[in-house]
Amino acid sequence: MLAGCTGWPDETAETYRASGYWRGESLTSLLRSWARAYGERTSLVHGERRISYAELDALVDRSAAGFRAHGITPGDRVVLQLPNVPEFVVVYFALLRAGAHPVFALAAHRANEIRHLCQVSGAVGHVIPKRHLGFDFEAMAEQVQTDTPGLRSVFVLTSDEEVADGFVPLSEVDADPVDLPEPDASDVAFFLLSGGTTAMPKLIPRTHDDYAYQIRASARVCRLSAEDVYLAVLPIEFNFPWGCPGVLGTLDVGGTVVLAGEAVAEDCFALVEREGVTFTSLVPTLARLWVDEARWTRRDLSSLRLVQVGGARLTPQLAARVQPALGCRLQQVFGMAEGLLCFTRDTDDDDTVVTTQGSPMSPGDEIRVVDDADQEVPAGRPGHLLVRGPYTLRGYFRAPEHNAHAFTDDGYYRTGDIVRHTAEGNLVVEGRAKDVIIRGGDKISAAEIEELLLDHLDVVQAAVVGLPDELLGERTCAVLVAAAAGNRPDLPQVKRALHARGVAEYKLPDRVAYVDALPLTPLGKVDKKALAARVAVTASSGK
């Protein structure tokens, strides 16, 4: 196991092998076997471009050799930051084949987050688009590289071959295939990001064995076959569209992946019609837009058979509208990049699909629902969800202190979610004990924004709370205590200050409110519930 990662105890690993969860197959060997089995079938579609399985495998061979030629060696970490384009898939597998470990950044991340990811992962490379949605990624990468001495290479996806000085166009990461050793399936393959509670995202190591199991098992839950066509609308660097079953699960069965991303509902509907899309995955905010838009569309959506919705709480009201509006089955997904996935099943009745978040994917998932003292709560009562299993991490990368309280002594991961079991054994997410705001499916750590506010504004105290929002589920409100009366930065000023620090757009507060002092709980912590209730009434939008 790569240094800085925590493996499963040997005995547990043996059980997972004996149970057939872990098969000792690397993700790159899977790609090879897909190419053999599905050859000329279409693996990826992007705009007018169609790539067969055989082509994908060959592109990956050339790119892997190219990365080696550009100095990427086994064990290296490379931050992968691309939108939903075929190159994302090619670079992912190429890095794996070169023995390196992709670190998934969000396309929405900016200098502040990327600098952190490069530093904590010890990355030697960064893969970016030249521009995307009007943003100049090269300028950002130059800034990050200046502050990050270990970051040797920046690879740029561009159609014009012109790149900043010292950067490498991705088209030049191309060489005649060389023989490369298969990665060890029990080792880390790549890193996902936690939607975490700490000041900066933690890295989640995912092994070949555990991720191969996840894609295979989730494809089975969704009954995927080679006839399925998956529309990747959510950014594919998220675990949900990448492997639940998403892109990789679809490739595993020989289906076709249509890459969209950032697309508005009507454009997605056009793709559904054109490509005969059979399933997709959405966060509730997008599901809401699709359900509304479906009333007006003239596109034929009849090929859709399954829409997965997850990532944030789906209200039963909206859930009930999905099947009638889109003419297909709804599946609720409650998951996390750390591992555990829960799905409603196609055998569930409508009420279960509308009101619960389903049951764990694997018989190997061990679930505990406990009180504050880690004691099991009575059946049906809400409590903290703890989990361990064949695809749930045992530790974040290089984070021993955080790991000490994020896991129990016997290896259960503390999810920070409050859940209850229904009598039928499904889970219902009741709330969150962790200080994370879920804004339209994006996870925002309150601690991260609070730290930034204190560092870059003239305020003495800062607390970030989520306020209920019709469309996004929650919006963020920065509650501040001014350093001096008469000096109260307003919303545009607060946003500008954070923006100037290179903070991703989605994390900028939606509102700002001022109080004389933050209310405290009896234990002396900021009472965020009381605060949220107070500012929900008084917060000025500052617009």
Instruction: Give yes or no for residue 384 binding ligand J2J (CB under 6 A).
Output: no
Nearest approach, Cβ of residue 343 and ligand J2J (Å): 9
334, 427 contact by CB (below 8 A)? yes
Nearest approach, Cβ of residue 193 and ligand J2J (Å): 8
42 vs 415, which CB is nearer to ligand J2J? 415
Instruction: Give yes or no for residue 239 binding ligand J2J (CB under 6 A).
Output: yes
Running DSSP on this structure, what letter comes out for residue 26? -
Binds ligand J2J (CB under 6 A): choice among 66, 255, 311, 466: 311
416 SS3 class? strand
Binding mask 337-366 for ligand J2J (x = CB under 6 A): x---x---------------x---------
Nearest approach, Cβ of residue 146 and ligand J2J (Å): 30
89, 247 contact by CB (below 8 A)? yes
420 vs 443, which CB is nearer to ligand J2J? 443
Instruction: Give yes or no for residue 313 binding ligand J2J (CB under 6 A).
Output: yes
Cα angle vertex 440, ends 434, 444, to 5°? 35
Instruction: Give yes or no for residue 331 binding ligand J2J (CB under 6 A).
Output: no
Running DSSP on this structure, what letter comes out for residue 265? H
Q: Which stretch binds ligand J2J (CB under 6 A): 228-236, 272-280, 329-337, 404-412?
A: 329-337
Binding to ligand J2J (CB under 6 A): which residues in 421-460?
A: 429, 432, 443
67 vs 343, which CB is nearer to ligand J2J? 343
Instruction: Give yes or no for residue 202 binding ligand J2J (CB under 6 A).
Output: no
- The per-type count for the chain, helices as H runs and strands as E runs, is 17, 27
Q: DSSP per residue over 281-340, as a string?
A: EE-HHHHHHHHHHHTT--S--TT--EEEEESSPPPHHHHHHHHHHHTSEEEEEEEETTEE
Instruction: Tell me which residue of 541, 53, 506, 509 sits closest to 252, measured CA to CA.
Output: 53
Instruction: Give yes or no for residue 466 binding ligand J2J (CB under 6 A).
Output: no
Instruction: Give yes or no for residue 92 binding ligand J2J (CB under 6 A).
Output: no
Instruction: Give yes or no for residue 417 binding ligand J2J (CB under 6 A).
Output: yes
Q: Which stretch binds ligand J2J (CB under 6 A): 10-18, 25-33, 305-313, 345-353?
A: 305-313
Residue 40 buriedness (CB in 10 A; 0-12 / 13-18 / 19+): exposed
Nearest approach, Cβ of residue 476 and ligand J2J (Å): 16
Instruction: Tell me which residue of 356, 427, 340 sits closest to 389, measured CA to CA.
Output: 340
478, 467 contact by CB (below 8 A)? no
Nearest approach, Cβ of residue 290 and ligand J2J (Å): 16
313 vs 420, which CB is nearer to ligand J2J? 313
498 SS3 class? helix
Count interface residues toward ligand J2J (CB under 6 A).
21
What Å distances lie between residue 79 and 109, 188, 351, CA to CA? Answer: 11, 15, 42
Q: Within a 10 A sphere around the Cβ of 374, how many other Cβ atoms?
A: 14
Residue 238 buriedness (CB in 10 A; 0-12 / 13-18 / 19+): buried
443 vs 488, which CB is nearer to ligand J2J? 443
434 vs 488, which CB is nearer to ligand J2J? 434
Sequence-ordered list of residues with C-beta below 8 angstroms from that of 160, at least 6 positions apart, any chain: 130
Q: Within a 10 A sphere around the Cβ of 77, how many other Cβ atoms?
A: 26
Nearest approach, Cβ of residue 478 and ligand J2J (Å): 21
Q: Which stretch binds ligand J2J (CB under 6 A): 95-103, 161-169, 336-344, 403-411?
A: 336-344
Binds ligand J2J (CB under 6 A): choice among 260, 307, 333, 539: 333
Instruction: Give yes or no for residue 336 binding ligand J2J (CB under 6 A).
Output: yes
100 vs 222, which CB is nearer to ligand J2J? 222
Instruction: Write out the residues near ligand J2J by the rule CB under 6 A.
Output: 195, 239-240, 244, 310-313, 332-337, 341, 357, 415, 417, 429, 432, 443
